[in-house]
Structure 1
Amino acid sequence: MLAANAREQFDKNATNAIRLAELSWKYSTSGLKSLALLRILNEVYYGRNRTPFCQNFETASGICSVGFINNNQQIITASWDGTIATWDVESGRQLMFFEPDTVGLNYLSVSPDETKAVVTTGLGADARVYDLKTGKRIFILKGHDFNVQLAIFSTDGSKIVTTGEDRTAKVWDVKTGHLINDFKTELPVKKIMFSKDGKYMYAVLEVGGVILKWNLKKGNAEKTIEAHPDLIPNAKFVNDEKQILTSSYDRTCKVIDIETGNELIVLKGHEYPVMDAAMSPDGNYIATAGYDGTFKLWDAKAQKEIYTKNAHTNWTTIIQFTPDGKKIITGSDDNTVKIWDTETGTLLHNLSGHTGSIESISVIDNGNKILTHSFGGSVKLWYINDEVYCKKLKGHTSSIYSAAFSPDGKKL
């Protein structure tokens, strides 16, 4: 409450705002207590409309996989050195840390009930399942002939699917660790998607532009969708999982009916491969990310381009809308994340600080918080609508236990 009052007072009386922030820091018991005063300080001295407040999550070796758990209140990370950790979103404090009995990780998936995690190393022919409460290994999934690349829980949490360089996808029982089904493909699987009812699995092959629909119970491929003549970098469900939105190296983006395989929308206009695509929540717009660093906004129904933006200095790796559809977020191989106004295409924020290509973007709190992960292993949580900005104050050689403003608010 004190922090909220401090924020409200800022435009009227900066000195009062600072004092309220001080009180908030003194009496708050939450992880936010260290942020309230810092945020007021930055508003007073460093202005607005620069870089949104950023929380960093770091490990010694770098983070290879990240996701939200506990109703978006915590972050779970897997690192290159084989460690798994959970973090409090607001304070950035590490809550849990354990070292799996394997060296190096490259992928992590959490069960829907958030009690288990399955990890892969990318350099071994197995996947390992752990209890997230105890940190103990439950079992090892063995059966692939070559390196396992992906391991994912089904939507109902009863199965785990692993894919490997041996061109197979294997389905395992979560309770026993026993193999249930084994699917063979002509090419390695790049991505796995599950239907909401857990009955079907859609496998995007690494090359060839093919999507396979597999029946998990029967263990057979029910449909082969030849979506593109070239590689599909990304695919995702849209329109209540009745359709799949695809992007391709053939420079097109498509919306495909999953039952018939018919092409409902085909968007042409990119001069280079389309790396990713996103549909607005209302289904009226599609945004596409280009290999040349551009992104385009399209009218989905008319299948016409609305505008093109030269967004990045290197290829645009990822794109998505905020939940209200009012903003578009792009990530790039130039190590930056940018936020755009959907209607006008105006650049709103340029988020820099990552040391590698942006690999994933997660949006929570109606777009007010954005979690970004880069190939360099860094993870950052951005507070987009705070309009507050941070500056690190250095100089102490040991721990800081207290801080306060001078009466005139000019010194800390």
Structure 2
Amino acid sequence: MKFNYKFQNLLGTVYRRGDIVFTNDGNCVISPVGNRITIYNLKQNKSNTLSVESHFNYTAIDVSPSGSVLLAVNEKGEAQMISLLTCTVIHRYKFKQQVNAVKFSPDGKYFAACCDDTVFIMTAPSNFTGEFRSFIMKRVYKKAHDDVTCLDWSTCSKLLAVGSKDTTTKIYTVDYLDNVNMYSLSGHTDKIVGVFFEKKSLDLITVSRNGQVCLWEASIDSDDLVTSAVQISHRKRRRLQKEDDSEDDIEEKDVIEKEKDYESDEEEKPVNEKKIDEDKRLAYKKLGRHYIGDAIRNAHHKVKLSAAQYHKDTKMLITGFSNGLFFLHEMPDVNLVHTLSVSEHRISSVAVSPQGDWIAFGCPQIGQLLVWEWQSEQYVMKQQGHSLDMTCLAYSPDGLYIVTGGYDGKVKVWNTSSGFCFVTFNEHKSTVTSIVFSANKKFFVSSSLDGTVRCYDLTRYRNFRTLTSPSLVQFSCVALDSSSELCAAGGQDVFEIFIWSIKFGKLLEVLGGHEAPVASLSFSPTLSSSRLASAAWDKTVRLWNCIETSSDCETIQLTSDALQVAFRPDGEEIAVSTLDGNISFFNSTTCEQTGSIEGRNDLGAGRSDTDLITAETNLKTKAFTTICYSADGSCILGGGNSKHVCLYSVKESVLIKKFVITQNRSLDAVNDFINRRLLTEFGNMALIEERTELEGGDVSIRLPGVKAGDMADRKVKPEVRVHCIRFSPTGESFAVAATEGLLVYSQNAGIDGTFRPYRLESGSTPHAVKKLLEEGSWGPALIGALQLNEHQVIQECVESVPPADIELTVAGLEEDYASRLANSIARLLEDSRHLEHLLLWVRSLVTQKKKFPPSVLLALEKVLTVKYSQLGKICDFNKYTIRCIKSVAEFAPKQEDVEMDSDNESSGRGTFSDTD
């Protein structure tokens, strides 16, 4: 299908809450982002969000020792065993309580999960045991007096150390061992944050929330534990074999003799058991207690140790605190190696790479994820999303960048290829309401409620122009004309439109006429026209001619308040979304209505936990708050305060596809019905506040009329909504700014086995294409591959054509096939190493004067820009390397001089020997 868009990546949100882990090779960081999981590749500088989606936010994750399986558990105890090879869920399990921590054993046979005060040990899929079933219960321990917070496995995978809120650490065993009973360690005065075994040893390190570090020495080592465990298992096996032999024999004499042998073994056994009890029984001795948080607590009494991690190879202990400070200590002497303040907020999770050189930190309050190289004291990765929801977004004309603005007043620029934010602007002091890119890709403009319109340069990354009005106005929208010379902004409290000159920064004109807040502005995208369309809450859309000095305009009356207006890419039609849930289409020249879409029922309406009305009644208040035309103008995309995004055909006015952006029930208004468990005889329990700490904390009900969030410390459940939608100029993808973050949907995302041919004929088969390639019929083979529309077949044809025959092959293609070939080559350029060969194809396609759609040319421009930047870095590195080698060679002595000196030395030695 033409519009087979699938979820590709999640931008704008880097980290929410939960554990952060490194992959086994140390090149990637796995971070839970709401109900999704993102993998950040630190070597290739790319991010990838898995298509796996949970019903609630993830809180605990861990990677198996083989690196092929990821265990992820959400806040409701729903566990998923995810294959990192196929990115699919291979098994599910439901815990009855919330899981605080999960950890795989070093041998990969088991994993442990902490639920409240209970510890579960279960089997994991492993190649060593041949058992590929997951979540088979092995042991269950319920010995703690409070919630279990952390755990760690010994190197031999026989013991499990578990820390809890009751300030104790308990030692559990996987198998039944006679020399290890349930052992409890007490010595802290606050809850345990981290428990760590030493490598190839049973010595322990425990860390508590108040900054205490205790060192524990075991009486036996792991080798003695494994040896005694094997002896006990062999002895038990011999007992079972003797019992089986005695049951198989029938003669009484043999039975009596074997019973005597068994009794003699029983008499000898207590002596061996006493030796094991005396010599090989596990016991712990406290070596010392260290207070690493005293210096911080003296300055700030409320600072707590919030996260801890230990690298067993380098013996480095990393601790993170609630004020954003982290310590790096060398164990067991507890020598302070490094300290740094990476944030002003609480560090909730710490991870160390297997090599021990990189440290990852997660701060959930501001959504920040940092990777620090402590030896060189440099940031490997430093990413932070918007601290509040995003309000607007804009694509660059080539589709390479996405600019987002949020309630926090920040403007961020994201690279769609890598998924990383590479620049952040903090000039705005209030909510950013709208963003638009210039046609020349050199700058973009943003409007804000702080009364300014700012222009940002993408070459030097600075705010080069600030546009203001004579009186303070809260700007709700902004627009740029096709020549990037005029900028228009509409007021929210003052119902006027202000027009500036970007070049001189001068206010040119103030357009008045609207009687309500201006909701949206849009310039005509054609170069020959500077018509401006404005939509307002006064139920009108006005078309202005900004070149003329008069302020006359054409007015279009609507049936309801206008929320958004958008021009079609050819500039001949405008679309307007209104408060009654309709999308109306008008001719931009005659102002006559050409079509209408009633999409309120398609948009849908969820029910919040605190709503007193049903979802059907709530549907009457829903409307499309954001709309956008596709790249070719044949379809329109709409979204609003709902979890659905609707794609409509403009010509037929029918729904093509509905996208569900999230299934996260941790957000409000996702379900259409309220959970019956919340409904009691006293009413809805969600309407009752649970206050603690002197009746002032844990308030979960938002204030009346507040939707963007208040500045008080209220734990409000966020509501799902779509703030902005934009299509990529290339037509391959579209982006959705929602509560979850910036979701990117693409046609080339995921493993798609759908067969989508184009003008297919009976003789167009992969076998026929290969046969034509063997015969050297490049043109018919390429046409057959384009008809099949299989990416691998097209790649084989493109790479098989000799460079000398490329131009002749392109000359024989029709325009439809040429445009599809150019689009396929744009995809090939992303990953193929045959860059020069593909560039020959591009040159032949462009020089043949074929008529291509603008989206195809933009796709080629985007991928060539990326390749140019990549090759530019490599060439610069090689250039400076060659220059360094040449400079060294100039100062080095020449080979001829060295040979002459050596000859002179040898001749001088000979003369000296003769005279001597």
Give me the TM-score of the superposition, normalised by structure 2: 0.31
Farther off after superposition, 363-372 or 93-102: 363-372
Q: Which residue of 1 aligns with 2:743?
A: 380
Q: Which residue of 2 aligns with 1:132?
A: 458
Q: Which residue of 2 aligns with 1:171?
A: 499
How far apart in 2 are the matches of 1:220 and 1:180?
12
Structure 1 position 370 matched with structure 2 position 734: yes
How far apart in 1 are the matches of 2:444 and 2:386?
19
How far apart in 2 are the matches of 1:364 and 1:46?
36
Aligned 8 A contact 1:202 1:211 in 2: no
Change (3 A) 1:58 1:170: same
Q: Which residue of 1 aligns with 2:622?
A: 315
How far apart in 2 are the matches of 1:154 and 1:293?
31
Q: Which residue of 2 aligns with 1:79?
A: 406
Structure 1 position 150 matched with structure 2 position 480: no
Q: Secondary structure at the match of 1:106?
A: strand
Aligned 8 A contact 2:433 2:475 in 1: no
Change (3 A) 1:181 1:262: same
How far apart in 1 are the matches of 2:554 and 2:479?
21
How far apart in 2 are the matches of 1:233 and 1:222?
22
Structure 1 position 359 matched with structure 2 position 760: no
Aligned residue identity for 2:466:
I
- Matches for 1:207-226 after TM superposition, within 5 Å: 207-226=537-556
Instruction: Using the TM superposition, give the Cα deviation of residue 91 of structure 1 relative to its aligned residue in structure 2, in angstroms.
Output: 2.6
Instruction: Using the TM superposition, give the Cα deviation of residue 156 of structure 1 relative to its aligned residue in structure 2, in angstroms.
Output: 0.7
Deviations 1:150-206 (A, max 9, x none): 232222101111222322212111111011222112423222221223643333342
Q: Which residue of 2 aligns with 1:350?
A: 660
Q: Mark the structure with the bigger radius of gyration.
A: 2
Aligned 8 A contact 2:476 2:520 in 1: no
Q: Which residue of 2 aligns with 1:41?
A: 86
- Matches for 1:39-118 after TM superposition, within 5 Å: 40-43=85-88, 45=90, 58-69=385-396, 71-100=398-427, 102-118=429-445
Q: Which residue of 1 aligns with 2:911?
A: none
Q: Which residue of 1 aligns with 2:467?
A: 141
Aligned 8 A contact 2:481 2:487 in 1: yes
Instruction: Using the TM superposition, give the Cα deviation of residue 213 of structure 1 relative to its aligned residue in structure 2, in angstroms.
Output: 2.3
Q: Which residue of 2 aligns with 1:334?
A: 642
Deviations 1:188-228 (A, max 9, x none): 32222212236433333423332222221223234322332
How far apart in 2 are the matches of 1:251 and 1:59?
29
Farther off after superposition, 86-95 or 236-245: 236-245
Instruction: Using the TM superposition, give the Cα deviation of residue 289 of structure 1 relative to its aligned residue in structure 2, in angstroms.
Output: 2.2
How far apart in 2 are the matches of 1:325 and 1:202?
18
Aligned 8 A contact 1:200 1:215 in 2: yes
Change (3 A) 1:190 1:368: same
Q: Which residue of 2 aligns with 1:22?
A: none
Structure with greater helix share of residues? 2
How far apart in 2 are the matches of 1:386 and 1:176?
44
- Matches for 1:184-199 after TM superposition, within 5 Å: 184-187=512-515, 188-195=517-524, 196-197=526-527, 199=529
Deviations 1:218-275 (A, max 9, x none): 2323432233243223333348322333344467654333333333x354xxxxxxxx
Change (3 A) 1:241 1:153: closer
Q: Secondary structure at the match of 2:86?
A: helix
Q: Which residue of 2 aligns with 1:260?
A: 590
Change (3 A) 1:384 1:227: same
Q: Secondary structure at the match of 2:46?
A: coil
Deviations 1:61-106 (A, max 9, x none): 3322222226212222223333222222133122222322634433
Q: Secondary structure at the match of 1:97?
A: strand
Aligned 8 A contact 1:105 1:121 in 2: yes
The total of aligned residue pairs comes to 321
Aligned 8 A contact 1:337 1:351 in 2: yes
Give me the TM-score of the superposition, normalised by structure 1: 0.63
Structure 1 position 242 matched with structure 2 position 582: no
* RMSD, matched Cα: 4.4
Q: Which ranges in structure 1 are unaligned for 5 or more consecutive residues?
A: 1-24, 48-55, 268-286, 296-309, 390-412
Q: Secondary structure at the match of 2:488?
A: strand
Aligned 8 A contact 2:533 2:565 in 1: no
How far apart in 1 are the matches of 2:390 and 2:646?
21
Aligned 8 A contact 1:214 1:221 in 2: yes
Structure with greater strand share of residues? 1
Q: Which ranges in structure 2 are unaligned for 5 or more consecutive residues?
A: 1-39, 52-67, 69-82, 93-382, 606-615, 668-718, 753-916
Aligned residue identity for 1:232:
A
Q: Which residue of 2 aligns with 1:279?
A: none
How far apart in 2 are the matches of 1:245 and 1:33?
34
Deviations 1:322-360 (A, max 9, x none): 668998855342334467999996867533158531122
Aligned 8 A contact 2:480 2:488 in 1: yes
**Seq. identity, %:** 14
Instruction: Flag the structure with more relative contact order, 1 or 2, with Cα contacts below 8 A and sequence separation at least 6.
Output: 1
Instruction: Using the TM superposition, give the Cα deviation of residue 125 of structure 1 relative to its aligned residue in structure 2, in angstroms.
Output: 3.0
Change (3 A) 1:175 1:259: same
How far apart in 2 are the matches of 1:120 and 1:172?
13
Aligned residue identity for 1:106:
T
Aligned 8 A contact 1:291 1:316 in 2: no
Q: Secondary structure at the match of 1:75?
A: strand
Aligned 8 A contact 1:214 1:220 in 2: no
Farther off after superposition, 149-158 or 313-322: 313-322
Q: Secondary structure at the match of 1:359?
A: strand
Aligned residue identity for 1:191:
S
Match of 2:46 among 7, 31, 35: 31
Q: Secondary structure at the match of 2:484?
A: coil
Deviations 1:283-317 (A, max 9, x none): xxxx542277369xxxxxxxxxxxxxx9x978352
Q: Which residue of 1 aligns with 2:825?
A: none
Q: Which residue of 1 aligns with 2:862?
A: none
